[in-house]
């Protein structure tokens, strides 16, 4: 729109300068400002994420701010910049057949607001308030007020001060720019609610346009009817009030009905979700009970098989040949591994079923208990376990001891050529404690970071390292019962660092 007006002034095309003979014309400097503003918006709206603002967009935005600021200073302080007379000064004076033209004060105010918004594009204060959208919203209302003023022929709405008023095409340009600016980032600031998929967003999208268009259009229609002499002024005002009440009542009822249907659907979905959650909880309880009972019931006959195999080897071993002894040894080894597997399965199933109520637990004491259980392994490997002061948290002491025992035990088991070194520290976060267990072991590849916390997932053969692959899965389940998280950072040959969180005591 600015480029068309500039072309009209440059090439004497009257139709591009003045829409109607009775309307104010757009000042050429105003047209230039619109071109600068649109060009700047083109650049800044295409920036993504952390991309730096380009020099061109900063210069363009600064030029737009300068246009508005210099015009306002010229008018309020009488400094005499005459910024709006820089272009085509002989034509805008009104002495060469063209209507007089100057930059209106409300136009200058909109340039100042929109230019500042372009400089602050994507600047977001604490709490999600976007200052740039607020500035552009004010500029849009100034433009909309001018358009409504032209509709009702109310000079006060489209003129600020004693100078010429804002032209209609300028007001339309600012209104279009404001709408485009708000739409450029629909998921932030003021637009986040309007564009959301929530009931509030749907209601805003239905009611906001109607809140502007219904009173505006209805008022314009009644004004035309009144000026034509079909009704008195008092009757027109009363009819406007009654019509507005009826239309908004219908509109609100329509929105209420739609929201009512949405609430009914949501209530039904919530009921289904509660039923599904109850079924899932019952299924999980049944599975835990089954795993516990199955593991417990398997333990006794397996122990009997192991005992009799060991007796068989002890009593008849000298009478068996080499192959027979090898078969018996393999059978005993398999039975012992199955026994260890069932024992770990029992521990895994007991995390929820046999967990104790939470109480204040000193992590220092839980760690000492774990180190006491690992005393033999620490002495055999020459391991060194150091720790800083650990916090007191709400938890299950037996299970917290098991976490430290599994993590320190893994560090000892998966050590490198050097003696194991384990360092344990804690760090206070806003609502939780972060516990860090670092070792100098063989390390873990990043592609296995999630896999190691899954049941029965092993990264090494039993010939390399013994175990069932349930230790870290048990740790994860215990920490999740304590409403925490666990993860690992590591690299092959550089040791591993395990992090887990526990809720802080208030």
What pLDDT does 50 receive? 44
* CA angle in degrees (0–180, nearest 5) for 454-487-291: 30
* Rounded-to-integer distance, Cα 444 and Cα 497, Å: 10
d(CA 100, CA 92): 5
> Count of alpha carbons within 13 Å of 327, Cβ hemisphere only?
7
- Per the listing, tokens 């027979």 go with 324
d(CA 139, CA 146): 11
Helices first, then strands: H and E counts in the chain: 17, 7
Q: d(Cα 319, Cα 313) in Å, to the nearest integer? A: 10
| Residue 179: strand, helix, or coil | helix
Output 53 or 57, whichever has higher pLDDT.
Answer: 57
Give pLDDT, residue 65. Answer: 94
Asked if 433 and 444 count as a contact pair (C-beta separation under 8 A), the reply is no
pLDDT at position 123 over 80? no
pTM listed for this prediction: 0.57
Q: Kindly state the average pLDDT of the residues 148-160.
A: 88
- Per-residue pLDDT of 462-471, as tens digits, reads 555 555 567 7
Region of poorest pLDDT, from 186-190, 235-239, 327-331, 451-455: 451-455
Half-sphere exposure of 187 (CA within 13 A, CB side): 1
Share above pLDDT 90 across residues of the chain, in percent, rounded to a whole number: 22
Residue 433 gets which letter from DSSP?
E
CB-CB contact of 238 with 227 (8 Å): no
- The confidence band for 196, taking pLDDT boundaries of 50, 70 and 90, is confident
> Which CATH number describes the domain made up of 359-503?
3.30.565.10
In sequence order, what are the beta bridge partners of 310?
Answer: none
Give the best-scoring range by mean pLDDT among 69-73, 275-279, 307-311: 69-73
Q: What is the reported pLDDT for 96?
A: 65
Q: pLDDT at residue 118 above 80?
A: yes
The residue ranges of every structural domain in the chain are 2-195, 197-354, 359-503
pLDDT in tens, 438-485: 998 888 888 878 888 876 555 555 555 555 567 788 888 889 888 899
């Amino acid at each position: 729109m600015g480029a068309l007006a500039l072309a009209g002034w440059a090439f004497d095309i009257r139709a591009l300068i003045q829409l109607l003979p009775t309307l104010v014309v757009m000042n050429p400097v105003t047209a230039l400002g619109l071109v600068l503003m649109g060009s700047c918006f083109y650049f800044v709206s295409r920036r993504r994420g952390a991309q730096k603002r380009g020099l061109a967009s900063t210069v363009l935005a600064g030029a737009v701010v300068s246009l508005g600021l210099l015009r306002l200073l010229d008018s309020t302080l009488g400094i005499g910049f005459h910024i709006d007379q820089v272009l085509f000064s002989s034509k805008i004076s009104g002495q060469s057949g063209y209507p007089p033209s100057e930059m209106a004060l409300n136009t200058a105010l909109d340039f100042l607001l929109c230019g500042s918004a372009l400089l602050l594009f994507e600047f977001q204060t604490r709490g999600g308030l976007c200052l740039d959208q607020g500035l552009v919203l004010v500029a849009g209302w100034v433009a909309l007020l001018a358009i409504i003023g032209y509709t009702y022929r109310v000079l006060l709405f489209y003129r600020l001060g004693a100078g010429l008023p804002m032209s209609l095409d300028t007001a339309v340009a600012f209104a279009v720019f404001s709408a485009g600016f708000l739409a450029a980032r629909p998921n932030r600031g003021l637009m986040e609610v309007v564009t959301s998929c929530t009931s509030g967003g749907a209601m805003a999208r239905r009611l906001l346009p109607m809140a502007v268009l219904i009173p505006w259009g209805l008022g314009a229609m009644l004004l035309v009817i009144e000026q034509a002499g079909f009704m008195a002024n008092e009757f027109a005002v009363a009819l406007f009030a009654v019509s507005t009440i009826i239309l908004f009542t219908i509109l609100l009822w329509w929105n209420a009905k739609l929201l009512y249907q949405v609430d009914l659907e949501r209530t039904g979905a919530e009921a289904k979700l509660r039923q599904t959650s109850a079924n899932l909880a019952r299924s999980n309880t049944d599975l835990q009970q089954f795993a516990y009972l199955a593991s417990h019931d398997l333990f006794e006959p397996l122990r009997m098989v192991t005992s009799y195999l060991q007796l068989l080897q002890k009593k008849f071993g000298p009478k068996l040949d080499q192959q027979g002894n090898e078969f018996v040894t393999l059978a005993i080894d398999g039975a012992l591994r199955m026994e260890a597997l069932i024992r770990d399965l029992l521990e895994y199933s007991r995390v929820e079923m046999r967990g104790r109520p939470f109480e204040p637990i000193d992590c220092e004491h839980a760690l000492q208990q774990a180190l006491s259980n690992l005393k033999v392994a620490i002495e055999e490997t020459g391991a060194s376990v150091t720790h800083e002061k650990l916090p007191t948290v709400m938890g299950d002491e037996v299970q917290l001891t098991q976490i430290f025992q599994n993590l320190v035990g893994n560090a000892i088991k998966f050590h490198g050529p050097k003696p194991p070194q384990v360092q344990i520290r804690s760090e206070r976060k806003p609502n939780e404690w972060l516990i860090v267990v670092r070792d100098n072991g063989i390390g873990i590849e990043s592609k296995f970071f999630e896999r190691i916390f899954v049941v029965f997932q092993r990264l090494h053969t039993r010939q390399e390292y013994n175990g069932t692959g349930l230790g870290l899965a048990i740790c994860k389940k215990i920490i999740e019962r304590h409403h925490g998280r666990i993860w690992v950072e590591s690299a092959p040959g550089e040791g591993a660092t395990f992090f887990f969180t526990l809720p802080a005591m208030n």
